[in-house]
Each structure stands twice: as C-alpha cells, then as structure tokens.
Amino acid sequence: MKKPTIGVLALQGAFREHLQMIERIGARGIGIKYPAELHLCQGLVIPGGESTTIGKLMIEYGFLEGIRDLVREGMPVFGTCAGLIMLAKRLDEGDQPLLGLMDITVRRNAFGRQVDSFETELYLEGIEEADNPYKAVFIRAPWIEDTGPEVKVLGRFEGKPVIARQDGMLVCAFHPELTKDSRIHRHFLKMVNENHSVTAEKG
Ligand code: GLN
C-alpha cells in the first residue's frame, strides 16, 4: 500500500512534533498552511496550542468549512489538546469559534492554573498493548465533561474522559507527540489506512 499522507494543521502550536512522529511511524507528514492543501492528505491532525488563536486563524484563512466538509465525508481527523477543543460541539463555558463536529462538551484549562502541566500514566482501551500504561503529558489541558451516545471513551483521568473516538474523529486532551510512545499515532494511522482502503474500493 502507498504511504498515506497525514496533514498537520500548521497555523499555531505543536505541529512540528506531530510531523516528526508521523514520519517515525512510516507515513508521510505535511504541514498544512492553506485550505487548498487539505486535499493532499488522507488524514488530518489538529495540534495543541491555543484554541482561541487557532480558531481565529482558521476563520482568517478560511479553514472551517473545508475541514468540516472533509470530516463529514469521512476523512479521519485527530485533535490533540487545543485540537480536541476545536473539534467539540460544545464548551461548558465561554464562546469561541469551533469546528463543532464531535458530540462532546469540553472544559478548557480543566485542571486549573496551579497544575498547569503534569505527566501521568493512563490505561487506554482499544489501543495496542492496552495492558501497558501510557505516559501522558498534559499541558493546560481540557477534559471532556460530557459525551453523546456515539462517543466511545478510550481513557480517563480522575474519572474524566481524556481520550475518545466518534467515527473517524479521535481526540485526546494530552500531547501524544511529546512522548516516545507512538501507540496513539499508530492507532490514528490505522484509522486512516482503513478509511483509505474503503474509499479506494469505492473509487
Ligand atoms: N489551554 C489551551 C486552550 O484552551 C490548550 C492547551 C494545549 O493545547 N496544550 O486552548
């Protein structure tokens, strides 16, 4: 099978580390700066950063509709931290531009300002080697306050969902690109390959 291309939205935030991880797991990673580049990829990562800034830039560059259309057509998307916030349908507080695609309610900066960043071990469901704990790096992270019936929670911290999936959408509240453990990126790559083979069969 041809190497799939995974785009990483490169407007702001931790996109370089995602690109490195994508290359490491054997896919091709490209930074996406303009909506016209979206059609080059079979999957898209929306990285961590500052969701209000990413939202503003998405509007400025005209990304909102293009991403919404592709995800609704089935293109897999992976949102980490601020990317998770961008994919949510609802925030528990405040108003800011969102893609509004995944049936979750999100609380931003949920762990408070004091515990701004930390590392912890999580047990993930449905991901390779589920018995091995996953070391997750949280940076001013959100958590998922509430999930709709289509959403499958893959891991929790202190009872709150911090990684979840709905159809072709995968989100996590932490930064999987900042650790050596590539299981979550490989899981996303599997989603991309599966979707790609379905599209190829149809076409
Ligand atoms: N606190 C940021 C926000 O609300 C997210 C932080 C991150 O992506 N590491 O957008």
* Stretch among 23-32, 107-116, 140-149 having the lowest mean pLDDT: 107-116
How many structural domains does the chain have? 1
Quote the percentage of the chain above a pLDDT of 70.
Answer: 96
CA distance readout (Å), 128 to 18, 47, 59, 133, 135? 19, 22, 36, 11, 14
Collect all residues with Cβ–Cβ distance below 8 Å to 76 and sequence separation of at least 6: 42, 43, 44, 168, 169, 170, 188, 191, 192, 195
Q: For position 159, which CATH number holds?
A: 3.40.50.880
Active site residue 119: no
Domain containing residue 55: 5-202
Kindly tell me the burial class for residue 38, based on how many C-beta atoms sit within 10 Å of its own C-beta (0-12, 13-18, 19 or more): middle
Residue 196 has pLDDT above 90, yes or no: no
- Tell me: the pLDDT tens digits for 114-145? 568 999 999 999 999 989 999 999 999 999 99
Pocket of ligand 1, beta carbon within 6 A: 48-51, 81-82, 85, 108-109, 139-140
CB 53 within 8 A of CB 149: no
Nearest by Cα to 126 from 88, 175, 76, 163? 163
Q: Which atom of ligand 1 is nearest to the CA of 53?
A: 10
Residue found under tokens 């994919």: 87
CA–CA distance, 171 with 162 (Å, rounded to integer)? 8
Q: Which atom of ligand 1 is nearest to the CA of 83?
A: 8
Active site residue 175: yes
pTM of the model: 0.96
Determine which one of 81, 172, 185, 187 is catalytic: 81
CA–centroid distance, residue 72 to ligand 1 (Å) = 25
CA–centroid distance, residue 202 to ligand 1 (Å) = 38
User: What's the pLDDT score for residue 200?
Assistant: 65
Active site residue 177: yes
